[in-house]
Amino acid sequence: MHEATSAPPISHYDYIIVGGGTAGCPLAATLSQNATVLLLERGGAPYNNPNITHLSAFGKALSDLSPSSPSQRFISEDGVINARARVLGGGSCINAGFYSRAATQYVSAAGWDGRLVNESYRWVEEVVAFEPPMKQWQSAVRDGLLEAGVGPYNGFTYDHLVGTKVGGTIFDGEGRRHTAANLLEYANPNGLTVLLHASVHKIFFRIEGTEHRAYLNNGPKNEIIISAGALGSPQLLMLSGVGPKDHLKAHNITLVLDQPLVGQGMRDNPMNAIFVPSPTPVEVSLIQVVGITRYGSYIEAASGEHFASGASQRDFGMFSPKIGQLATVPPKQRTPEALSRAIESMEVLDPTIFMGGFILEKIMGPISTGHLQLKNKNPNDNPLVTFNYFKDPQDLQRCVNGLKVIENVIESKAFSQFKYDNLSLPNLLNMTAKAPVNMLPRHGNASTSLEQFCKDTVMTIWHYHGGCQVGRVVDNNYRVLGVDALRVVDGSTFYYSPGTNPQATLMMLGRYMGVKILEQRIESLQTN
């Protein structure tokens, strides 16, 4: 790894990959076996940062708002606080670590080669996937799901199967995170150059005759590949002149290709959680168990100390004012001073209030869609994105159905030791509805109307996708339609988020497409 400032004035590569994230790292590692690759990452390295590497520190990277943070906050136009990775390894460095494959139906619908998909998943799993240790709280959630009728029990598996299962994790047995950056172990060091803090402002096209510093070598199969994520990839295409004509004109960007579907079809899986205080201590755990229902809701859980992590500093997980913001404070009053006062007021609360965990539901899909637009021409600034959570009534119904399952889990015999008898579900809903989880207004009936609770307490589970979808912006080989030697390989190409968590499939996709691109390259060389 090298700092971008140390790069030579001019360099040449067979492939230039923009974005060293969840898909970009395995893609670069694979292509480096048979070609020269430049991997450009706008953030730094994940190593030697305990807020990334330690399971017990989950939340601290998300609440770090400094310019050097591996997590760059953005707030959707819907008022939901979200995070965009800014580090080698991408979202796998700041997520909750759950590892689960896409459903076989998803693979078929995507038109992928099932054999190569399975080989690619196994290639990833050799380095980053582990079976989590199942302790009391997670076991109670698992057994509660089975009591609630979310069956059958499928045991520990990476596969996406209806019922209740224990999924994989990228945290090893000692709680150390393994990320997509670890997949660079597979790379040929002589074929790969990794530049950190390398912000890409624009891709130049030959028709403009503009000189630039990193060139593609001469060759029919040499390419630029964008793996900048669901926000970064459509943003970079627009900055480079590929996007909706009128929108680019409004930002004084020279048009290369009028492509009105860039930035369209943005989706984010809405998450709604219920915090359950526990009368007995619970282990520190992130997502381990998942209930995959038949009607489109996924039930997951997290617990432990990251909701009051140590006497010196508490992060309060998803309840943190630093992550969730101040939902009950008018927008103009959400100042750093107000934030500090909120944090101070939470610091003095009895730690036992925060002893417990979240049971959450995420809806599959989703069906509701939004759009992304440029805010300005600075690639380091977040674009404007709207997800339109629960715009489709089917999404809202799936949320309500999921909350009903959570209610049954909380009331189950298996979960009884981790619940106060005098706290009814309306009490728990009311507690959660008052927490600063987003910037939306609150309604008095949120504890009695599950529909209102879904709308008022919607959060992200960081699974946003879309903006460069297959068949709309890229073809089935992920080539940008109407442009030569340019592909997009990341979650921006998805219509729906795969499985219960996309990171396994994103890493698989990087490997999968790397193999496919090399096969095409070798075939071309043999033909010529």
Name the residues annotated as catalytic. 463
Where on the phi/psi map is residue 356: left (φ > 0), alpha (ψ -120 to 50), or beta? left
Average pLDDT over the chain, rounded to whole?
89
Residue for token pair 């953030």: 43
Closest among 134, 128, 222 to 180, alpha carbons compared: 128
Q: What whole-number distance in Å separates Cα of residue 398 and Cα of residue 293? A: 10
Alpha carbon separation from 216 to 21, 376, 422, 487 (Å, rounded): 21, 28, 67, 14
Banded model confidence at residue 298, pLDDT cuts 50, 70, 90: very high
Quote the pLDDT of residue 291: 98
Q: What whole-number distance in Å separates Cα of residue 407 and Cα of residue 147? A: 12
Phi, psi of 211 (to 5 degrees): -85, 145
Handedness of CA 475, 481, 487, 492 (dihedral sign): negative
Structure tokens given for 478: 């992920």
Banded model confidence at residue 147, pLDDT cuts 50, 70, 90: very high
SS3 category, 211: coil
Q: What whole-number distance in Å separates Cα of residue 160 and Cα of residue 188? A: 32
Quote the pLDDT of residue 342: 56
Asked whether residue 371 is marked as a ligand-binding residue, the answer is: no
Contact between 152 and 163 (Cβ < 8 Å): yes
SS (H, E, C) 386-400: ECCCCCCHHHHHHHH
Banded model confidence at residue 309, pLDDT cuts 50, 70, 90: very low
Asked whether residue 503 is marked as a ligand-binding residue, the answer is: yes
Question: How many residues are recorded in the chain?
Answer: 528
Structure tokens given for 295: 């009607």
- With residues binned 3-state (H G I as helix, E B as strand, rest as coil), the percentages for the chain, rounded to 5, are 35, 20, 45
Quote the pLDDT of residue 311: 37
Burial category of 422 from C-beta neighbours within 10 Å (exposed 0-12, middle 13-18, buried 19 and up): exposed
What is the per-residue burial (b if ≥16 Cβ within 10 Å, else e) of 301-337? bbbbbbbbbeeeebbbbbbbbbbbbbbebeeeebeee
Q: What whole-number distance in Å separates Cα of residue 46 and Cα of residue 378? A: 24
Asked whether residue 502 is marked as a ligand-binding residue, the answer is: yes
Q: What whole-number distance in Å separates Cα of residue 362 and Cα of residue 355? A: 23
Tell me which amino acid residue 77 is.
E
Within 46-178, strands assigned E span 71-75, 81-85, 98-99, 153-156, 163-166, 168-169
Asked whether residue 87 is marked as a ligand-binding residue, the answer is: yes
Quote the pLDDT of residue 195: 96
Asked whether residue 150 is marked as a ligand-binding residue, the answer is: no
Quote the pLDDT of residue 323: 43
Q: What whole-number distance in Å separates Cα of residue 73 and Cα of residue 63? A: 9
Where on the phi/psi map is residue 390: left (φ > 0), alpha (ψ -120 to 50), or beta? left
Asked whether residue 499 is marked as a ligand-binding residue, the answer is: no
Banded model confidence at residue 210, pLDDT cuts 50, 70, 90: very low
Q: What whole-number distance in Å separates Cα of residue 217 and Cα of residue 190? A: 16
Quote the pLDDT of residue 354: 61
Asked whether residue 112 is marked as a ligand-binding residue, the answer is: no
Q: Considering only CA atoms, give the Rg of the chain.
A: 23
Helices 425-433 & 393-410, crossing angle to 10 degrees?
Answer: 130
Contact between 89 and 196 (Cβ < 8 Å): no
Quote the pLDDT of residue 209: 47
Q: pLDDT, tens digit, for every residue of 81-140?
A: 889 999 999 999 999 999 999 999 999 999 999 999 999 999 999 999 999 999 999 999
Least confident of 315-324, 337-346, 400-409, 498-507: 315-324
171 has pLDDT over 80: yes
Contact partners, residue 176, CB within 8 Å, separation at least 6: 53, 54, 55
Contact between 399 and 407 (Cβ < 8 Å): no
